[in-house]
């Protein structure tokens, strides 16, 4: 039996995180590309996992990529689809991405803003049209992006620390 029974599963377990998912302070959104931002919610360095909101305010192709692990998504606002599929993920949709599948995320012309929650473990491997590796992201590159952005906008590089597990 654990001596500390105040709600933690184990005395060494990191504390839970409760944050306002869509922040009032725009500086919390980290720019990823033109018209594309992410809002980190949890960055788990122990298993290489990150949960974030992806916000897009432009249409067209975002990226062509794959994940070596499954990805879970939930569309909060707007809609998007993958070039390789005939389904459309719209507000209220749950999306499961199987590991290893190559897909190209597209936001339609008539969508002003798309916000989707993603739970990703492992990495995103960016590919060109010939399937050649052109880049990647993982929990550590996400943390680095956050630190640089938060320092630049006056929140401080350590602002991201509250989200790291």
pLDDT digits (tens, 9 = 90+) for 127-138: 999 999 999 999
pLDDT at 11: 75
Q: Are 42 and 71 in contact (CB under 8 A)?
A: no
Q: How many domains does the chain have?
A: 1
Q: Is residue 53 part of a domain?
A: yes
Residues 40-66 as b or e (16 or more Cβ within 10 Å = b): bbbbeeeeebbbbbbbbeebeebbbbb
Choice between 53 and 7, residue whose per-residue pLDDT is larger: 53
CATH number at residue 145: 2.60.120.10
Residue 37 resides in a domain: yes
Is a pLDDT exceeding 50 seen at residue 1?
Answer: no
**Is residue 21 one of the residues assigned to a domain?**
no
Quickly tell me which residue has 């931002």 as its tokens.
Answer: 37
Summarize pLDDT for 40-71 with one digit per residue, the tens: 999 999 999 999 999 999 999 999 999 999 99
CA dist 160 and 150 (Å) reads 8
In a domain, 41, yes or no: yes
In a domain, 88, yes or no: yes
Confidence at 8, pLDDT banded by 50, 70, 90? low
Domain of residue 124 covers 32-163
Structural domain includes residue 85: yes
Per the domain annotation, does 158 fall within a domain? yes
């Amino acid at each position: 039996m654990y001596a500390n029974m105040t709600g933690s599963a184990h005395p060494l377990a990191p504390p839970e995180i409760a944050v306002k998912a869509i922040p009032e302070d725009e500086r919390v959104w980290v720019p990823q590309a033109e018209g594309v931002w992410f809002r980190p919610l949890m960055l788990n360095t122990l298993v290489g996992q990150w949960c974030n909101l992806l916000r897009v305010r432009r249409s067209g192709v975002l990226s062509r990529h794959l994940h070596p692990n499954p990805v879970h998504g939930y569309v909060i606002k707007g809609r998007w689809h993958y070039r390789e599929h005939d389904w459309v993920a719209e507000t209220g949709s749950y999306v499961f991405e199987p590991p290893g599948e190559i897909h190209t995320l597209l936001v339609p012309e008539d969508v002003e803003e798309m916000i989707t929650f993603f739970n990703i473990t492992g990495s995103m491997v960016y590919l060109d049209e010939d399937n050649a590796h052109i880049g990647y992201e993982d929990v550590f590159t996400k943390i680095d992006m956050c630190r640089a952005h938060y320092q630049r906008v006056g929140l401080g590089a350590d602002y991201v620390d509250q989200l790291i597990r």
